[in-house]
A and B are shown apart, each in its own frame.
Chain A
Amino acid sequence: MNEQPKIGVFKYSCCAGCEFQLIYFQKHVIDMFEKTQITYCRMLQSGGHPEGPFDVALIEGAITEQWQADQLNRVRAVSRYLIPIGSCAVCGGVPAIKNTTEEQEIEKRVYTDTSLVHSMKTGAINDYVKIDGAVKGCPMGVRDLSELVISLLLDKRPEFVNCSVCVECKLAANICVLVAYNEPCMGPVTNAGCGALCPGHHRACYGCWGPMEDANAWALAGQFRLMGLTNDDIHRKFTEFGQPTTQWKAGQIK
């Protein structure tokens, strides 16, 4: 690629932690982005060109309002690649917990006057537009982010981490918290990339990187039941980072 690739960064409903990870967090990320042009990113700089065009649009956050979905469609139309970054954008993340309860009920718990609220059921980015890959994680993983930018510069297809946390646990030689300590670990159904962070720090994985492709949620939910978890407990485990349309659906019993 002769010209520096143009990158647009858009934030929807989220904590802005992925954008933070992208822009402010680590020196080598900042260095890497010097080979690109960030032409739109509101938290980073004034001005910019939200209208595009973009070689890559990075989308942070889940969709919870109609204007976000409308803008997302426009961004898709002017972007060569569109990549959701982080769990909210990839699978709904924490903001999708509200999908487990009726929308009006949730709103009434927060505002006495809900007439000004225009919130919808929380959706992931690929519920609305075609995506060209995903940088998973909460916050998104720096390894996959680096892979994305390097692939863009080399004009090659990125290879994202695509296995369960269990694989990373074995590579790190951790003792299995599920089998050895009887802890309800979400590792078997959760996408890797964190380096098995929680098991490495003596706790069960809570699934923040979201569902792994082809996860066997049904089997893990069954195992949790054998371990004595109630249906409510299991439901909570499978809804903290996975909205009800993902690969974790089979575990979302209630």
Chain B
Amino acid sequence: MKRIHRKIEIDYLPRVEGETNIEIELGHAPAIRLKIFEPPRFFEGFLVGRRFDEVGDIVSRICGICPVSHMTTAIQAIEKAMGIEVSPQTVTLRKLMSISQIMASHLVHLYMLAMPDYYGCDGFPAMRRDVTRQTEDLLILKDVFNALTGLIGGRALHPVTHLPGGFTAVPSNEAVGQIATQLKQIRPNARRTAEEVAHLGMPDFHCDSEYVCLDTADEYAINGGRIVSTRGLNIAVEDYHAAFHESETEYAFAKKTTRQGASSIMSGAMARLNIKFAKLRQTTKDLAEALDFRPPSDNPFHNNIAQALEIVDGVEHCIELIESSRFEDEDIHIRINAGTAGAVTEAPRGLLYHWYEVDGKGIVQKANIVTPTSHNFSNIEKHLLKLVQENNDKSPPQIRLLCEELVRAYDPCFSCSVH
């Protein structure tokens, strides 16, 4: 049957963070445009002229789902620029805050944004009526992770205790210990989440990418390390600009970031698992094996399973960090120096880069922020195109749903991407 030229327009994609349209041209020469219309707020513009110790509080407002990632990355960049050292306790508290936020973000993505598609629900309220047990698991897990972020940060969303140099207040060992007890209690819920996600029945779709993440020798890197890829990239954070290129597009307010030479990359949970699977705890690896999930994978839908396994591993990681630490009050020591520096962390959705130039009075002169969804932008379009090409014989509603599922599997954040 001869097919006529068709176009699918997804107007304001639901159940993702932020605002985008997707334009899909079908027919002989399929084409994809991720038209991110989220309005720019110009963070890099108005950060100029602000003081170094306001930056963390301001940039946390880039994203309501990963505020800790923006805050931590910015503070680490500022510290490097100004030559501020922090204590080992600060490093541990940052790790706990980052991991607990990543877990909470993964949970929201998996249960509330991605999963409704697979249960034929339009959203979480319908799922809460129809699939009660799963939604209960979400609430139980999320409460504990939010409590941990909030205990360290003062509140889980836009924390207040975290400044260049360290934390203004440190949680009591008793309170942290109670969270460790709760973390042990939610192990079965975390495990069930991974089983649940692995059995959702995701499309059998393959498209290779260059996977990029942070890596260190001794642990599953979150807040620092070298930038490595499955195609041989292995650089220090200082060499970020030499390896990556950020460019503007005419149909989106988000910039596209690729490797120099314009090849696209994928970062996020699946990239992390593809590269650092060996650094997960043995119980997590055994669970992956039991679920028949063996990274590396080149199916972007598997980002969902990768996130679920990170939740299982994150529970253990937090317990270990808590049980091996004794927290005590510390003073914050800073000195104001001029300098420039960048920092990279693993945000829930992938690589997050912040770069600042600070003058001798501690005032920001220049800022650059590259978010996970900017890093993944080109690859999402590349994968969508291949998905459409392979499913060209399906009906437009079927193609539309597949495309929505694929974009959601990436867990994009369009508010972050534009900022």
Q: Which residues of A contact B (CB under 8 A)?
A: 11-21, 23-27, 30, 33-34, 38, 42-48, 64-65, 68, 93-95, 97-98, 100-101, 105-113, 116-117, 119, 138-139, 194, 197-198, 200-203, 206, 208, 233, 236, 240
Taken together as a complex, chains A and B put the C-alpha atoms of A64 and B125 apart, in Å, by 31
Chain A residues with Cβ below 8 Å from B62 are 15
Chain B residues with Cβ below 8 Å from A98 are 41-42, 45-46
Q: Decide if B108 is an interface residue (CB 8 Å cutoff).
A: yes
* Least distance between B63 CB and chain A CB atoms (Å): 5
Chain B residues with Cβ below 8 Å from A42 are 12, 14-15, 19
Q: What are the 4 closest A-B residue pairs judged by CB atoms, nearest first?
A: A17-B64, A45-B123, A106-B45, A109-B45
Query: Is B57's CB under 8 angstroms from A101's CB?
Result: no
Q: Decide if B349 is an interface residue (CB 8 Å cutoff).
A: no
- A110-B54 contact in complex given A44-B15, A45-B124, A46-B15, C-beta closer than 8 Å: no
Q: Mark B31-69, 1 if CB is under 8 A from A, else 0.
A: 000000001111011101111001001100111110100
* Least distance between B358 CB and chain A CB atoms (Å): 14
Cβ-defined partner of A16 (8 Å) among B18, B42, B46, B51: B18
Chain B residues with Cβ below 8 Å from A101 are 45-46, 48-49
- A208-B57 contact in complex given A25-B146, A201-B168, C-beta closer than 8 Å: yes
Query: Is A16's CB under 8 angstroms from B64's CB?
Result: yes
Q: Decide if B248 is an interface residue (CB 8 Å cutoff).
A: yes
Query: Is A27's CB under 8 angstroms from B125's CB?
Result: no
Query: Is A111's CB under 8 angstroms from B248's CB?
Result: yes
A46-B15, A201-B161, A240-B54 known; 15 new pairs, CB 8 Å cut-off, are A14-B415, A16-B63, A17-B65, A17-B67, A19-B64, A25-B157, A26-B143, A44-B123, A45-B125, A109-B45, A112-B248, A117-B253, A139-B64, A139-B157, A203-B160
Chain A residues with Cβ below 8 Å from B19 are 11, 42
Q: Decide if B17 is an interface residue (CB 8 Å cutoff).
A: yes
* Least distance between A47 CB and chain B CB atoms (Å): 5
Q: Decide if B139 is an interface residue (CB 8 Å cutoff).
A: yes
- A94-B61 contact in complex given A23-B124, A107-B42, C-beta closer than 8 Å: yes
Chain A residues with Cβ below 8 Å from B122 are 45-47
Q: Decide if B250 is an interface residue (CB 8 Å cutoff).
A: yes
Query: Is A97's CB under 8 angstroms from B415's CB?
Result: no
Q: Decide if B235 is an interface residue (CB 8 Å cutoff).
A: no
Taken together as a complex, chains A and B put the C-alpha atoms of A98 and B168 apart, in Å, by 28
- A240-B58 contact in complex given A13-B41, A27-B139, A106-B45, C-beta closer than 8 Å: yes
Query: Is A46's CB under 8 angstroms from B45's CB?
Result: no
B interface, size bucket: 35 or more
Q: Decide if B6 is an interface residue (CB 8 Å cutoff).
A: no
* Least distance between A123 CB and chain B CB atoms (Å): 12
Chain B residues with Cβ below 8 Å from A200 are 154
Query: Is A203's CB under 8 angstroms from B163's CB?
Result: yes
**Residue in chain B with minimal CB distance to A15:** B64
**Residue in chain A with minimal CB distance to B163:** A203
Cβ-defined partner of B39 (8 Å) among A12, A17, A27, A202: A12
Taken together as a complex, chains A and B put the C-alpha atoms of A108 and B16 apart, in Å, by 29
Taken together as a complex, chains A and B put the C-alpha atoms of A194 and B62 apart, in Å, by 20
Chain B residues with Cβ below 8 Å from A64 are 39-41
Q: Decide if B155 is an interface residue (CB 8 Å cutoff).
A: yes
Taken together as a complex, chains A and B put the C-alpha atoms of A48 and B122 apart, in Å, by 9
11 contacts between A and B (CB under 8 A): A20-B108, A23-B124, A33-B125, A42-B19, A45-B123, A45-B126, A47-B122, A105-B45, A109-B44, A198-B160, A201-B161
Taken together as a complex, chains A and B put the C-alpha atoms of A202 and B62 apart, in Å, by 25
- A24-B108 contact in complex given A101-B45, A117-B40, C-beta closer than 8 Å: yes
Query: Is B139's CB under 8 angstroms from A138's CB?
Result: no
Query: Is B65's CB under 8 angstroms from A16's CB?
Result: yes
Chain A residues with Cβ below 8 Å from B65 are 16-17, 20
Q: Decide if B94 is an interface residue (CB 8 Å cutoff).
A: no
**Residue in chain B with minimal CB distance to A116:** B250
Q: Mark B155-189, 1 if CB is under 8 A from A, else 0.
A: 11110110100001100000000000000000000
Q: Decide if B74 is an interface residue (CB 8 Å cutoff).
A: no
* Least distance between A178 CB and chain B CB atoms (Å): 15
Query: Is A233's CB under 8 angstroms from B41's CB?
Result: no
Query: Is A110's CB under 8 angstroms from B415's CB?
Result: no
Most buried by A among B42, B143, B157, B169: B42
- A15-B415 contact in complex given A98-B46, A236-B54, C-beta closer than 8 Å: yes
Chain A residues with Cβ below 8 Å from B352 are none
Query: Is A203's CB under 8 angstroms from B64's CB?
Result: no
**Residue in chain A with minimal CB distance to B13:** A42
Query: Is B248's CB under 8 angstroms from A201's CB?
Result: no
Query: Is B61's CB under 8 angstroms from A138's CB?
Result: yes
Chain A residues with Cβ below 8 Å from B116 are 45-46
Chain A residues with Cβ below 8 Å from B248 are 111-113
Query: Is A21's CB under 8 angstroms from B54's CB?
Result: no
* Least distance between A244 CB and chain B CB atoms (Å): 13
Q: Decide if B112 is an interface residue (CB 8 Å cutoff).
A: yes
Taken together as a complex, chains A and B put the C-alpha atoms of A110 and B367 apart, in Å, by 9
* Least distance between A15 CB and chain B CB atoms (Å): 4
Taken together as a complex, chains A and B put the C-alpha atoms of A249 and B126 apart, in Å, by 46
Cβ-defined partner of B169 (8 Å) among A112, A116, A202, A208: A202
Cβ-defined partner of A203 (8 Å) among B124, B128, B155, B161: B161
Chain B residues with Cβ below 8 Å from A12 are 39
Q: Mark B98-129, 1 if CB is under 8 A from A, else 0.
A: 00000000001000100010000011111010
Chain A residues with Cβ below 8 Å from B415 are 14-16
Query: Is A197's CB under 8 angstroms from B160's CB?
Result: yes
Taken together as a complex, chains A and B put the C-alpha atoms of A113 and B255 apart, in Å, by 12
Chain A residues with Cβ below 8 Å from B18 are 16
Chain B residues with Cβ below 8 Å from A111 are 40, 248
**Residue in chain B with minimal CB distance to A19:** B64
Query: Is B51's CB under 8 angstroms from A233's CB?
Result: yes
Chain A residues with Cβ below 8 Å from B14 are 42-43, 45-48
